[in-house]
C-alpha cells in the first residue's frame, strides 16, 4: 500500500524567504511522485512530477523538488517566496510500474506568505 505524509499543515514564511514543504512517502514499488498546488476556489494544478531519471525536478513558478529514495522523501522548495505563492500544496504518489494506479494524496500544507 502507498501513503503520503506531509509534515506541517500550515507553513508561514516571509516574502523573499526560502520555501520548504515536506513530503514523505511510503511505497513498496517504484513510485511516481507529484506536487499539486490549489489556489482558493480553484482545482488542483500540477507543479512538478518525478517519474524516472533525474532526481531533481523543476516545475512551474520556480519550484523544484528532489526525490531521495534513501529518505523516502520528495520535499518541495523555492528559493524566494512571493506573495502569489500563498496556496495549499499537495504531495501525491502513485505506482510507477505500469498500468494505471490511482493517485494517493497527502493531507496538504497551507502556505502563507507575509510581507
Judged by the rule CB under 8 A, the positions of this chain that interact with other proteins are: 32, 34, 36, 41-46, 49, 51, 90, 94-103, 105-108
How far apart are the C-alpha atoms of 17 and 39, rounded to whole Å?
20
Bridge partner residues of 104 (DSSP): 93
Q: Which is nearer to other proteins, 34 or 81 (CB)?
A: 34
The torsion angle over the Cα atoms of residues 63, 81, 18 and 27, rounded to 10 degrees, is -40
Q: Which is nearer to other proteins, 62 or 96 (CB)?
A: 96
CA distances from 59 to 47, 65, 78 (A): 5, 8, 10
The least distance separating other proteins from the CB of residue 11, rounded to whole angstroms, comes to 17
The least distance separating other proteins from the CB of residue 107, rounded to whole angstroms, comes to 5
Q: Which is nearer to other proteins, 107 or 112 (CB)?
A: 107
Amino acid at each position: 500500500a502507498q501513503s503520503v505524509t506531509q509534515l506541517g499543515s500550515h507553513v508561514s514564511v516571509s516574502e523573499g524567504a526560502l520555501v520548504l514543504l515536506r513530503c514523505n512517502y511510503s511505497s513498496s514499488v517504484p513510485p511516481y511522485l507529484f506536487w499539486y498546488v490549489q489556489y482558493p476556489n480553484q482545482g488542483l494544478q500540477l507543479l512538478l512530477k518525478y517519474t524516472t531519471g533525474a532526481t531533481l525536478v523543476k516545475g512551474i513558478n520556480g519550484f523544484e523538488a528532489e526525490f531521495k529514495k534513501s529518505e523516502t522523501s520528495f520535499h518541495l522548495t523555492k528559493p524566494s517566496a512571493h506573495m502569489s505563492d500563498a496556496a495549499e500544496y499537495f504531495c501525491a504518489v502513485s505506482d510507477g510500474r505500469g498500468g494505471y494506479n490511482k493517485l494517493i494524496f497527502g493531507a496538504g500544507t497551507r502556505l502563507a506568505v507575509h510581507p
